[in-house]
Amino acid sequence: MICGSAKAPLLAEESRASSVTEWVLERQAEKCRVTVKVNKIKAGNLRASVLHKRCRQQQWGSVKDMGG
């Protein structure tokens, strides 16, 4: 009986700790998601500008090839 009553507060403590851990992990995951979103936007912009540059270079190349 003593064991049972000694375990009860420990279990409560454990469940509280795990819920706190879950909360912390959720917050971290949220932050992660936000940074991933921002990074994707940055990467998208970077990719767009690189593609734009490449496109312009190809246009210049084709103009030069045509003797322009």
Cα–Cα dist 5/38, whole Å = 50
Question: Which pTM was predicted?
Answer: 0.36
Residue, of 12 and 2, whose pLDDT is higher: 12
Tokens of 5: 């009553």
Place of tokens 């979103």: 37
Q: Is the C-alpha dihedral spanning 44, 45, 46, 52 positive or negative?
A: positive
pLDDT of 68? 47
Distance, in Å, from the CA atom of 22 to the CA atom of 26, rounded to the nearest integer, reads 6
In which band, very low, low, confident or very high, does the pLDDT at 61 lie, cut at 50, 70 and 90? low
12-32: per-residue pLDDT in tens?
Answer: 777 777 788 888 888 888 887
Query: 64: pLDDT confidence band, cut at 50, 70 and 90?
Result: low
Q: Which residue has the tokens 């009553």?
A: 5
